[in-house]
A = this chain, B = another copy of it.
Amino acid sequence: MQAALDYLERNRDRFLKLLLEFLEIPSISAQRAYDEHTARAAAFIRARLDDAGFKTGLYHGDGLPTVYGSRIEGDVRPTLLLYGHYDVQPPDPLDLWDSPPFEPVRRDGILYGRGTCDDKGQLFMHLKAAEAYLKTRGDLPLNVKYIFEGEEESGSVNLPDFIESNTELLKADVVVISDTALFGSGVPSITYGLRGLAYVEVTLTGPDRDLHSGVYGGAIENPVNALAKIIAGLHDEDHRVTIDGFYDSVIPLSDDERATFASLPFDDQEWIEEVGVDTARTEKGYTVLEGTTARPTLDCNGIWGGYTEKGAKTVLPSQASAKISMRLVPDQTPEDITEKIRSHFEKHLPPTMKLTFTDLHGGYGALVDTNSPAMKAAAKAMEGVYGQKPFFVRTGGSIPIVAEFKKLLGLDTVLMGFGLDSDSIHSPNECFGLDRFHQGIQTIIRFMDIYKG
């Protein structure tokens, strides 16, 4: 292991140069005009695996290719399944970038460019960790399988099919993903919880056309007012969601977990200032951190109805609509929660209204056992690099693929990410600190050695 770490130190500049080459490829999966580039990114990464002696394959399915690579060092060693994605978000709006998104540059130790953090830079750490072993001892400490997806930023629509069709190929002991953030700058952390999502759209229809509010107002229930009433009733005074059975499957936070949350270096006031609000508003009895990561929530993502242009138009609208999403925690399922909010709307619908209900999107949350050998190994690896034990943290966002790995392959995922919330992923001036890039490689080198047992 020490030889591998030394190799990394000697090759920092060369690794960076190669990463720049990878980042220059505009692999924008959401835009068909870039398909050729996205395919080039897949070829680039496959070539690196070929060079390193991996057995590789390119899987096309219905969409952009998935790159597969494996090195099986022996049956008795554990097998890692490493997932990453080589596609990136569109760079718009271009005029807000300080330097062109696909001409990555280093400024003050930070690398700027689309994909530096999400996820080309983090994916690349794994390739370089493997290279460090292969160049210094000729093999890897354990078996490794890579899958690098090209459609993560456009919904991973084909990945579940790929996994389901290749369960034997993907057989492993644990999944590792480096596509999350550290808890804070210089604060090592491993994500063990993700929230799921249920996202619906509702439309209430009252009169069959827009009416004059003078002539009809006073005897017609207004769809905007009626929708507002149902939405208002979705939370109680304690800011708990009132949908029947909403909390039935929620795994409660244990005392240990809450103690851990409380020990994290997190300042509510700083957070409030950063968000630009006067006060936070959480479910009663929970902190900001618990509320945003470990408790289920309900938010309107959009609402519309009637006249929304300038000035005063005296319309009594025929319809009002809203998009409503719920962040879920284990063991809530999007299917169950979607049915429950549908029932809630049906139950509270006034007799004057018709309801149109659309299930738009769903994804499972995940909770990983922090005491598994892989999580312990990851924690020890991080401690070796950062000089302090990492925090186990939960994040409020969703990575639905984690639940797919569990469902389709029975595998837990170690979320070992080195981003920061300030890395502007999905935004202009995306960046990744080179210190974190190297700490990431060091951590992976250590993790492979520790986890092999």
Interface of A is mostly: mixed
Query: In whole angstroms, how far apart are the Cα atoms of A312 and B229 in the complex?
Result: 23
Q: Mark A303-324, 1 if CB is under 8 A from B, else 0.
A: 1111110011111110011110
Question: What is the interface residue range for chain A against chain B?
Answer: 35 or more
Interface assignment of A222: CB less than 8 Å from any CB of chain B: yes
Given A225-B299, A307-B302, does the pair A327, B213 have CB atoms closer than 8 Å? yes
A371 to chain B, nearest CB (A): 26
- B224 near A396 with CB under 8 A, answer no
Q: Which of chain B's residues have a CB closer than 8 A to the CB of A356?
A: none
Quick one: copies of this chain in the complex? 2
- B314 near A218 with CB under 8 A, answer no
Q: Mark A213-245, 1 if CB is under 8 A from B, else 0.
A: 111111111101101110111110000000000
Query: In whole angstroms, how far apart are the Cα atoms of A323 and B309 in the complex?
Result: 10
- B218 near A396 with CB under 8 A, answer yes
- A302 near B308 with CB under 8 A, answer yes
A289 to chain B, nearest CB (A): 8
Q: Which of chain B's residues have a CB closer than 8 A to the CB of A350?
A: 281
Query: In whole angstroms, how far apart are the Cα atoms of A352 and B272 in the complex?
Result: 11
Interface assignment of A74: CB less than 8 Å from any CB of chain B: no
Given A299-B316, A397-B212, does the pair A218, B292 have CB atoms closer than 8 Å? yes
- B275 near A207 with CB under 8 A, answer yes
Q: Mark A190-219, 1 if CB is under 8 A from B, else 0.
A: 000001010100000011110111111111
Interface assignment of A258: CB less than 8 Å from any CB of chain B: no
Query: In whole angstroms, how far apart are the Cα atoms of A297 and B212 in the complex?
Result: 13
Output the nearest chain B residue to A282 by Cβ-Cβ distance.
Answer: B219
Query: In whole angstroms, how far apart are the Cα atoms of A398 and B396 in the complex?
Result: 51
Given A207-B275, A327-B214, does the pair A228, B232 have CB atoms closer than 8 Å? yes
Given A351-B278, A396-B216, does the pair A303, B301 have CB atoms closer than 8 Å? no
Interface assignment of A300: CB less than 8 Å from any CB of chain B: yes
Given A228-B227, A288-B219, A311-B360, does the pair A213, B277 have CB atoms closer than 8 Å? no
Q: Mark A243-283, 1 if CB is under 8 A from B, else 0.
A: 00000000000000000000000000001000111111111
Interface assignment of A38: CB less than 8 Å from any CB of chain B: no
Interface assignment of A114: CB less than 8 Å from any CB of chain B: no
- B308 near A214 with CB under 8 A, answer no
Which of A's residues lie within 8 Å of B, judged by CB?
195, 197, 199, 206-209, 211-222, 224-225, 227-229, 231-235, 271, 275-283, 286, 288, 290-293, 295-308, 311-317, 320-323, 325, 327, 350-352, 360-361, 395-398, 421
Return the contact of A221 from the options B207, B215, B221, B281 (Cβ within 8 A).
B281
Output the nearest chain B residue to A359 by Cβ-Cβ distance.
Answer: B312
Return the contact of A301 from the options B229, B282, B290, B315 (Cβ within 8 A).
B315
Which one of A219, A221, A279 has the greatest number of beta carbons of chain B within 10 Å? A219
- A312 near B218 with CB under 8 A, answer no
Q: Which of chain B's residues have a CB closer than 8 A to the CB of A218?
A: 282-283, 286, 290-293, 295-297, 327, 396
- B307 near A323 with CB under 8 A, answer yes
Q: Which of chain B's residues have a CB closer than 8 A to the CB of A421?
A: 215
Q: Which of chain B's residues have a CB closer than 8 A to the CB of A234?
A: 225
- B292 near A215 with CB under 8 A, answer yes
- B297 near A301 with CB under 8 A, answer no
A325 to chain B, nearest CB (A): 6
- A301 near B306 with CB under 8 A, answer yes
